[in-house]
Amino acid sequence: MFQDTSIDELPVLLDRFPDSDSLSDAPDWLDDEIPPLEKSLDADWLVQPLESTIQTPVFSCLQSLKFDYSVRHILIHPTQDLIFTVGSPTRGSSPEFTNTIQVWNWRSNKSIFTFKGHTAPIRTIALSQDGKLLVSGSHDRTIKVWNALTGEELFTLNQDSSVTAIALSSDGKTLVSSGCNSYEIRDRQLQITKRDRTLRIWDLSTGKIAHTLPCITDVPTLMTGASGKVLLKYEQQLEAVNLETGRTIPRLNWLKDCEQVLAIASNWESAATMLDRQVTILNVATGEVQCRIGLDVSDRSIQVSAISPDGKWFVAGFQRSNFHPRHHNYLRQNVLRIWNAQTGKQIECFSESEGLWQSIEFSQTSRSLITSIGNSVKIWRL
């Protein structure tokens, strides 16, 4: 329960326990050897009062930030107080924010440095597990690999179309990128001018493509496993790919027709799917259902969602519509809901600022959550 990162929070945790007879004789325990609880006749008497006083953990907002641009992509560093942001390419947005990656200290709200080099809006970013490498993919058909702590560009990879999705292996040695078709309007019709729905598996030690695989959509969902040897790809179905051979492992066939995958935990133990406004949390490997969550009828479609890497929490951002009887119209409100992904019980519900949901991400330790709505970013702590 107690890790190194939890020592500072020990006084806060102890405050949750009210005075009780179970703790009144605690000073006397220090003078005598404590008998093992499993052999003590009083073990059940001691443990029960402690368990009954433990409260459900909650999320609290550590920091709220405002930027001069709408934040489309955001990542939080695993060990440093840093966040990496990319601006949304909306009408009137500046290339200063859409073609670059801004690095901020989220505690002080100060800009640290900027990754510069792309000549078109950045579509996707990924951070290595150790926090040393940052990878970005852009409309300029390039993938750039950066030193995440200095902003130095290490090297650039080129592909034949815009980079729509990337995934970095846990060991930082393999990169997966996806391309997309190119389109033009001709005779008032949208026509494909170049086909490149291709998945590329790169060996970062050489900068060369090791394998290619076909895709059926322009923007697949990609995620690498903890071993660094397997890729999970979601388009219309879930598929696992061996990164060393480029071969597809037999398809995971538990996904139902019309069922949408919302999020997958980075440990691959849990996934969230939705069908008929019901979210199902299940085991990725077996399809075994862990719990089901019924969505509120006033909540519109889920706009962003995530499962914590340890598989304990499922979070989703909605734009809620409430009917105003006096004005005879609907009022829109952004809502963040948090559930226990093992029981399906809702833990928290927060009302958020106006704007469009952009991004929601857990830290690799599952201890922090970062959300982005419009130009507002919040850091949450478990």
In-domain check, residue 39: no
Alpha-carbon distance of 304 to 272, in angstroms, equals 12
Alpha-carbon distance of 358 to 88, in angstroms, equals 8
Section 298-323 average pLDDT: 87
In-domain check, residue 302: yes
The pLDDT score that the predictor gives to residue 44 is: 39
Q: How far is CA 93 from CA 14, 88, 292, 360, in A?
A: 48, 7, 40, 21
In-domain check, residue 17: no
- Average pLDDT of the residues of the chain: 81
In-domain check, residue 292: yes
In-domain check, residue 231: no
Q: 374 lies in which domain range?
A: 254-382
CATH number at residue 322: 2.130.10.10
Determine contact, residues 365/43, Cβ cutoff 8 Å: no
In-domain check, residue 286: yes
Chain centroid, CA 218 distance in Å = 21
Alpha-carbon distance of 249 to 213, in angstroms, equals 13
In-domain check, residue 183: no
Determine contact, residues 259/275, Cβ cutoff 8 Å: yes
pTM: 0.78
The pLDDT score that the predictor gives to residue 22 is: 38
DSSP result, 185-216: EETTEEEEEE---EEEEEETTTTEEEEEEE-S
The pLDDT score that the predictor gives to residue 320 is: 79
Nearest to 258, CA basis, from 245, 280, 274? 274
When divided into structural domains, the chain yields a total of 1
Chain centroid, CA 343 distance in Å = 20
**pLDDT top residue among 93 and 59:** 59
The string of pLDDT tens digits covering residues 176-199 is: 999 998 888 888 888 888 888 999
In the chain, what percentage of residues exceed pLDDT 70?
82
Q: What is the DSSP letter of 269?
A: S
N residues, the chain: 382
Q: How confident is the model at residue 249 (pLDDT cuts 50, 70, 90)?
A: confident
Residue at 331: amino acid letter: L
In-domain check, residue 176: no
Instruction: Give yes or no for residue 118 having a pLDDT over 50.
Output: yes
Tokens of 104: 């901020």
3-state class (DSSP) for residue 5: helix
